[in-house]
Amino acid sequence: MDAQTSLAHVTVGARPLRTEEVVAVARHDARVVLDDDAVRRVAETRALIERLADDPEPHYGISTGFGALATTFIAPERRRQLQLSLIRSHAAGTGAEVERDVVRALMLLRLQTLASGHTGVRPVVVETYAALLNAGITPVVREYGSLGCSGDLAPLAHVALAAMGEGKVRVGDSSAAGDPVEASDALAAAGILPLVLAEKEGLALINGTDGMLGMLTLALHDLDDLLITADLAASLSIESQLGTDAVFADDLMALRPQRGQAGSAARLRLFLRASPIVASHRDPSVCTRVQDAYSLRCTPQVHGAVGDTVDHARAIAERELASVIDNPVVTADGRVESNGNFHGAPVAYVLDFLAIAVADLASISERRTDRALDPARSNGLPPFLADEVGVDSGLMIAQYAAAGIVSELKRLAVPASVDSIPSSAMQEDHVSMGWAAARKLRRAIDGLARVLAIEILTGCRALDLRAPLDPGPVTARVRDLVRRDVAGPGPDRSLSPEIEAVVALVADGSLARIGRDATADPSSRPAVPAATEPSRRNR
């Protein structure tokens, strides 16, 4: 999930950002470059704001207070203090620190909106945010504080506070260690002058869905890897438990034209292709079972549905990445208008939807793991894949860990977006809770990676126990990669380091790359026909 990107820099302001660009800046410190035309547009829009600031008529966010105080006129000499007070008061986060990649993603996304020429900030604001990213200065943002409406106010306010030279930050890519430093010191060391905000700029810095959108974008990147990894894990289980690949035939999938299902089935066929283990029980005189259990047979139906959910969420994310979220906003014809585009509902809903799909993907994975450990259902494997049954417990407790994670993922699947607690003296009386939906999805994705790692650990041991039969070429590559860090079957040993080693292979994309290589490189595929003779038990 954290595989290196080839992007050395990302241009901001020229067009909507892509997912891979957000990941490149958030996780790999790609340099941010401002588009020249974008900076010019920013300057032109700022001239309009400054004219309105001189207008004796009140204009929201320019010469008035905010939220429930929107009707309060603020005299010109007090407006800088108004902006300063807005950021200080809204930097009210609490709880654990938010991860560095999330903070950098939300900074980049806010910068993209600031560079749109629709927010009314000065060019120096845009330039300062770009400089913070390029200097590796990451403001300390706290876990709680955003309701996902009027923007991710508290998280974005902590970023703005740092840009003003206040609050705490971390510097560099190893900033998780040690205590954070003063923002003023970090800015001085990087040669960045602290911002002194003028009219409208405080609102422009905090009125966005950037936190929840940043986490959605990172989640989509991670899930692209995890879906391929899930198909690999399932292939290990199907193969080692003597399941059939006949149920994944293309003509059967065509009877139900769901795109995700067809894609998952195609990968399963490829990953199981030319497997001596699968071939060993095709003859009905050898295998008399009529059907495999649902957790094996229905893999593409479940995995594919998750893939379709990811595609839907990606469509929403791409629209949001092309959006300008601010209130008030400067329109193309020069009007300054209040609006409700900061409401996080579109993003919040798909964050919750993904949490449901992630929980179910982990659930079916855990069921396949459990089958491998039960001699009544594993088709000839020893109990718990133990070396000396009765003395050794094998992988018994690894399944406990997977079950515990799946139970938590089911709790995390409870939607956050159905809740709303009014705020700001009932002015903000319906909120999205999108930030909370994003935070729980982030935890759920970590849990899914661990459940898949346990299935892969189990499947690799089960494949070894099928010797002298060999696995297929693709699953053999997975097994061989795991064996570089994890020993094969044998007497009991501590499982925690082995689970963590496989989790690392899932998280860094190493296992997903095996799946991508198999699907992308025809020369790596076996020469035998794809539609090998199906088992009669599923015809």
pLDDT tens string 419-465 = 988 887 777 778 888 999 999 999 999 999 999 999 999 999 999 99
**Angle separating helix axes 100-114 and 19-28, nearest 10 degrees:** 130
User: pLDDT tens across 464-508, in order?
Assistant: 999 999 999 999 999 999 999 999 999 999 999 999 999 999 999
pLDDT for 539 beyond 90:
no
Half-sphere exposure in the Cβ direction for 167 (13 Å, CA):
28
pLDDT for 135 beyond 90:
yes
pLDDT for 100 beyond 80:
yes
Q: Domain residue spans in the chain?
A: 9-208, 217-324+354-419+433-525
pLDDT for 47 beyond 80:
yes
Phi, psi (degrees; rounded to nearest 5) at 116: -75, -20
Percentage with pLDDT > 90 across the chain: 78
pLDDT in the model for residue 165: 98
In CATH terms, the fold of domain 217-324+354-419+433-525 is Fumarase C; Chain A, domain 2 (1.20.200)
Indicate the CATH number for domain 9-208: 1.10.275.10
CA 520, CA 538: separation in Å to the nearest integer?
A: 29
* pLDDT class of 149 with cuts at 50, 70, 90: confident
pLDDT in the model for residue 414: 97
* pLDDT class of 416 with cuts at 50, 70, 90: very high
Residue 532, number of CB atoms within 10 A of its CB: 18
pLDDT in the model for residue 71: 65
Active site residues: 60
Half-sphere exposure in the Cβ direction for 116 (13 Å, CA):
23
The secondary structure of 235-246 as a DSSP string is: HHHHHHTT--SG
Residue 484, number of CB atoms within 10 A of its CB: 9
Q: Which residue has the higher pLDDT, 73 or 170?
A: 170
Q: Find the mean pLDDT for residues 6-17.
A: 93
User: pLDDT tens across 322-379, in order?
Assistant: 999 998 899 988 888 889 889 999 999 999 999 999 999 999 999 999 999 999 999 9
CA 36, CA 477: separation in Å to the nearest integer?
A: 48
Percentage with pLDDT > 70 across the chain: 92
CA 116, CA 324: separation in Å to the nearest integer?
A: 7
pLDDT in the model for residue 68: 56
User: pLDDT tens across 281-315, in order?
Assistant: 987 766 667 699 999 999 999 999 999 999 999 99
Say what the pTM is.
0.92
pLDDT for 192 beyond 50:
yes
Cβ neighbours of residue 58 closer than 8 Å, sequence gap 6 or more: 64, 71, 73
